[in-house]
Amino acid sequence: MIKKWKLAVGGLAAFFLSIALGAGAYYLAHPYFFKSAVNNEVPEQEQEEEVVEDPAEDAPGYYFAGWKDKARGRALAVVIDNVKAARPQTGLEDADVVVEVPVEGGITRFLALICCDNLDLVGPVRSARSYFVDLAEEYKAILVHAGGSPDSLQQLAARKLEHLDEITGGGQVAGAFWRAPDRSKPHNLYTSTDTLRRTAKKLQMNTTTLPPQRKLLAADAEIEGEPVENVHIMFPQKSSMVRFAFDQKKGVFARYITDQDQPHLNAEGEQLLVANVLIQFADSRVIDGDGRLKIALTGEGDALIFRGGKVLKGRWQKTAGELTKFTDRNGKEVSLLEGPTWLVIVPKGVKVEY
């Protein structure tokens, strides 16, 4: 994703001068292409492996795929755009968990939780809402965003939560982001996980606390539930309506944008595939003249759990600051398949068909 340029020059002084002037002007006009030299070149002595907090030996399982064989550390919770102008996004395909939540206007926005991989490009990054703050806190993650609603910024300040805000974080934080010249604002703000983690370290943030864990389903365990081929989520804005279709050969759910029934692709042209789809039904209400929402993510409610081509009707329960618990109708905690997980927060009244 990062473009590096090499210029071969001759021996004539005039030629050198023209190249120097041209390069300087190009750098000023297109800092995105020089992001590598500015932000990503780190001396070897700074790239030491961190000592992180190991999960307890009796921990129930690994929620984030790859913990056993990849670098571990605190998760990054990146707010990512989901309007038509922001597609295709970058980074959703490599996120360990993606939470999809409604925002104003009937559209949705993503919170990509990235724990295990180093991604050269993530975005487009957008502004936070109060429930993104709650979700980042739930996953013990550093929230990454570009501004936010008034209540979300008040929450961050009141709780003294660590976050990286491109707009209000100052020059050092702003330097961790850049604009792609081939897209229009505000749908062109990008970052990388390496840049974010190095910035967090420089600001002396905690970068080692691991995210909370869930139970993993054993490889030979039977998956409970009724067979299902498709699940349709009818968000109010047509461009945000989605379908997850089970791929029998791959054993995963493929994501589609249903207003034109097109595969939801990443920037490389690959369809987004997920192992688990969790639907959490929640109360919501409009709180201001701009249509911003208050979504109740604490308490309890109904849930649908999709795994391995089956759906299980269940419940969710959450107390403030703790990981949301998903159970079957008998109160038994549900185990998940290893792999990417999508949690979709669905306001009550939004139709879900399967």
CB 145 within 8 A of CB 165: yes
What would the mean pLDDT of 246-270 be, rounded to a whole number? 94
**Domain membership of residue 310 as a residue range:** 226-353
Which residue, 187, 202, 217, sits at the end of a domain? Answer: 202
Which residue, 202, 236, 252, sits at the end of a domain? Answer: 202
The pLDDT of residue 210: 87
Whether 63 and 190 map to the same domain: the answer is yes
Whether 195 and 231 map to the same domain: the answer is no
pLDDT at 72 over 80: no
Whether 183 and 234 map to the same domain: the answer is no
153 phi/psi in degrees, rounded to 5: -70, -35
Per-residue pLDDT of 337-354, as tens digits, reads 988 999 999 999 999 999
**74: its two tokens:** 């605190």
Average pLDDT, the chain: 83
DSSP letter string, 245-257: EEETTTTEEEEEE
Residue 53 within a domain: no
The pLDDT of residue 37: 27
> What is the tally of structural domains in the chain?
2
**Helix residue ranges, H only, the chain:** 13-29, 35, 130-138, 150-159, 171-174, 193-202
Question: Which CATH number characterizes residue 81's domain?
Answer: 3.50.90.10
Residue 192 within a domain: yes
pLDDT at 190 over 90: yes
Whether 182 and 252 map to the same domain: the answer is no
Q: Is the peptide bond before 31 cis (omega within 30 degrees of 0)?
A: no
Residue 18 within a domain: no
The pLDDT of residue 260: 77
Comparing 19-23, 146-150, 270-274, the range with the smallest average pLDDT is 19-23
Instruction: Please report which confidence band the pLDDT of residue 4 belongs to, taking 50, 70 and 90 as the band edges.
Output: very low
Whether 274 and 238 map to the same domain: the answer is yes
